[in-house]
Structure 1
Amino acid sequence: MEFQVPVIDITAYVTTGDVHERRIVARRIDEAARTVGFMQIVGHGVPQTVIDGLAAAIDGFFALAPEVKQGYRTPPEINRGYSPPKSESLSLSLGVESANRMNDFFEAFNVGAAVSDYPGLELPLADYPENLWPREVPEFRALVEAYFREAGRVARTLTTAFADALELPAGYFERYTDHSLDVLRMNNYALPPGEVELDGELTGMGAHTDYGIVTVLWADQAPGLQVLGADGHWHDVRPAPDALLVNLGDLTARWTNERWLSTLHRVQPPVVDGTIERRRSAAYFHDGNIDAVIETLPSCLGDGSRYAPVTVAEHIRAKLAGSRALQPNTKAEREAARMRSARSPY
């Protein structure tokens, strides 16, 4: 069977769709979540002007001189600001050493939910740090915040649909996401010509599963993104016109006892005619409240849970310690086993 990431129109959840229309969408989401773990979302309602603004902000920041970008670097435990090429290794979020021990060559800039967004809750500053905004790109903050709001709306629209798809009470996930640890990671895969020899071992972003509940990804049309299929092979994925790519994270796999998949994916070098082509993306990670306890939903228990209960804090910190601090995560055995069994090429 040919590998496909289904395209799902969520207009019924963005507007005032009737119960029948929403039920159809929820069924399609359930099918995609059970079989692929990825989907392409259209009808999301994000204005093209907002997406264009995000792309302009990404271009503006990553065009800055390396020494300027380095000024926005933060310690590994602070998931904000700039990450230069080869400073992270996503496979270590699963506790898996990369074959050539070469760190991922992407560079990134992170913004996210901050303590100041939730006055009165006394949230930990280490998990909800204040954002850094590059002074050299004056329009960056407004453009990025506009997209952050839209992506957050899409993520919450999806969790509304998830509750329907899993036959849970309306608004079920709201108690887990009312101060959600959300992060927007803007990625750039460009490298100056001649900096890296293409020897077949270059990694754009190592194989990993996403950490939280759901990820909303904007990406341009450059090649590189690959998803691990049920056949154990890696498959190329490019977004459909006007679509946002959506995939499920580990916390959703835990909630559903793996009825829904937290699918492994990676980014290979976007090579076109022997040269590296520029590739940009922006991933909005909707990760849930830091103090929320994630345990298997009663409707998904079956003969027993594959996972012990875990707080969002415990899970996210272990994952970030792997990718950012390069400390292999020892608590991702099931995901690591899937990665080790993956076969390549296709």
Structure 2
Amino acid sequence: MPDQDILSRFPPVSMTLLETDKARFARELGRSFREYGFAAISDHGLDEALIAGAYAKAAEFFALPEATKMKYFVEGGGGARGYTPFGKEIAKDAKHVDLKEFWHVGRDLPAGHPYEADMAPNLVPGEIAGWQETVHGLYAAFDAMGVKVLRAIALDLGLEETFFDDTVKDGNSVMRLLHYPPVTGDPGGSIRAEAHGDINTITLLLGAEEPGLQVKTRSGEWVDMNPPPGCLVVNMGDMLARSTNDVLPSTQHRVINPAGARTEFSRYSLPFFLHYRPDYMIETLPGCAGPDNPDKYPEPIRANDYLNQRLREIGLLK
């Protein structure tokens, strides 16, 4: 259960405020994002049966033999689709690989779509019945939820409410089914996920109530982020931090190894990494630079170029 320190730092903001007091919803989320780069949302309305089903499909897939899972590893694909095996990803500037394996689901594009070259087709594990209905169904629900959160962020920044709608329409967003196996023996300095910032615009995360996720405050202190059960955790990614000239910071976070009896258990989580569309030019947004906050990012960069640059830094692209 979350302690009072966590509740005081990250008081959950109820999604019901969207219907009753949209300005307050935007303001309370914005306050948390500006201070910590993170916020917790309660009453998010995502289908609990769909979420439970996705967790079950993830557990079923990761329990398959390694040789079977490796059929879905795409060599040279940057981990964009399908399976990425244990020990493959390393945080930028880290000395040890992360203790995790994962599966990525992306956007299904119709044939001939202009972004086809930037987004690989999805893979579907034939061993898992009902995968597409459940896993791809949750992807679609996350995608719609992300737009609602971005609208609140736009209002808090003083932009038109729908400012971000077009920037993420057909965006290169991915949902990650993430498995941290039990920690057995000496991990040799590795932890489940080393300190890192996310690459994308915003991340929506289910599964944060399981202990382990920590956020680095502005003072350099690592604090726990395990909100009440059923909350959705949202954090800023590097792309949106860059767009806002770090008004909304992309905060370093990590997943530490469990202690005691929890070492014997797997940890699963479902982060959704909402991305700009590949050809969106990331540049400092109106009102985010001035005498008190000079523009740190005067050169625009194409979203997909930025993504590939960062994927090389974390070892997923060569």
| TM-score, structure 2 normalization | 0.91
Code of the aligned partner of 1:53? G
Please give the alpha-carbon distance, in whole angstroms, between the structure 2 residues aligned to 1:48 and 1:257: 36
Superposition pairs of residues 1-346 of structure 1, within 5 angstroms: 2=5, 4-13=9-18, 17-18=19-20, 21-78=21-78, 79-89=80-90, 91-92=91-92, 96=93, 98=94, 101-116=95-110, 119-125=111-117, 127-191=118-182, 194=184, 196-198=185-187, 201-219=189-207, 221-273=209-261, 275-303=263-291, 304-307=294-297, 308-325=299-316
The answer as to whether partners of 2:201 and 2:238 remain within 8 angstroms in 1 is: yes
- Matched residues, percent identical? 29
Give the Å deviation of 1:153: 1.3
Structure 1 CA distance for aligned equivalents of residues 161 and 187 of structure 2: 51
The change in CA–CA distance for 1:174 and 1:65 in structure 2 (over 3 A counts) is same
- Aligned partners of 1:50 and 1:134: how far apart in 2? 18
Q: Which residue of structure 2 lines up, in the alignment, with residue 334 of structure 1?
A: none
- What is the deviation of 1:48? 1.0
Q: Using the alignment, how far apart are the partners of 1:102 and 1:251 within structure 2?
A: 25
What secondary structure, in the 3-state scheme, does the structure 1 residue paired with 2:141 have? helix
- How far the C-alpha of 1:326 sits from its partner, in A, is 6.5
CA 1:275/1:162 → structure 2, altered by over 3 Å: closer, same or farther? closer
Q: Which runs of 4+ in 1 moved over 6 A?
A: none
* 3-state SS, counterpart of residue 34 of structure 1: helix
Displacement of 1:60: 1.0
1:150-191 CA distances to partner (integer Å, 9 max, x unpaired)? Answer: 111110110111111111113111221111111001110014
State the Cα distance separating 1:240 from its structure 2 match: 1.5
Whole-angstrom CA distance in 2 between matches of 1:270 and 1:52: 23
Q: CA offset at residue 49 of structure 1? A: 0.7
Residue 277 of structure 2 aligns with an amino acid whose one-letter code is N
Q: Does the 8 A contact of 1:219 with 1:239 survive in 2? A: no
Kindly tell me: are residues 301 and 58 of structure 1, through their superposed partners in 2, closer, same or farther at Cα, counting changes over 3 Å? same
TM-superposed deviation, 1:273 = 3.7
In structure 2, the CA distance between the partners of 1:220 and 1:169, relative to structure 1 (3 Å rule), is closer
Q: Distance in 1 between matches of 2:217 and 2:317?
A: 27
Asked if the contact 2:108/2:121 (under 8 Å) is kept, the reply is yes
SS of residue matched to 1:51: helix
**Shift of residue 120, structure 1, vs aligned partner:** 4.8
The answer to whether the Cα contact below 8 Å between 1:250 and 1:262 also exists between their aligned partners in 2 is: yes
AA in 2 matched with 1:197:
D
Cα pair 2:40 2:233 within 8 Å, conserved: yes
> Given residue 84 of structure 2, which amino acid in structure 1 is its aligned partner?
S
CA distance in 2, matches of 1:271, 1:72: 32
CA spacing shift, 1:224–1:296, aligned 2, 3 Å: same
1:76 and 1:324 in contact (8 A); partners too: no
Report how far residue 221 of structure 1 moved: 3.8
> Does structure 2 retain, via aligned residues, the 8 Å contact 1:270–1:278?
no
CA distance in 1 between counterparts of 2:159 and 2:208 reads: 35
Q: Which TM-score applies when normalising by structure 1?
A: 0.84
CA distance in 1, matches of 2:316, 2:266: 27
Are the aligned partners of 1:224 and 1:270 in contact in 2 as well (CA < 8 Å)? yes
What is the rounded CA distance, in whole Å, between the counterparts of 2:288 and 2:226 in structure 1? Answer: 32
Cα deviation, 1:292-315, whole Å, max 9, x if unaligned, reads 011111211113311131111111
Alpha-carbon distance between aligned partners in 2 of 1:272 and 1:130, rounded to the nearest angstrom: 41
Q: How far apart, in 1, do the equivalents of 2:208 and 2:134 lie?
A: 17
Separation (CA, whole Å) in 2 of partners of 1:174 and 1:275: 42
Q: Is 1:107–1:187's contact at 8 Å kept on the other side of the alignment?
A: yes
> What RMSD in Å do the two structures reach over aligned CA positions?
2.0
Residue deviations 1:313-345 (CA, integer Å, cap 9, x gap): 111111111224376xxxxxxxxxxxxxxxxxx
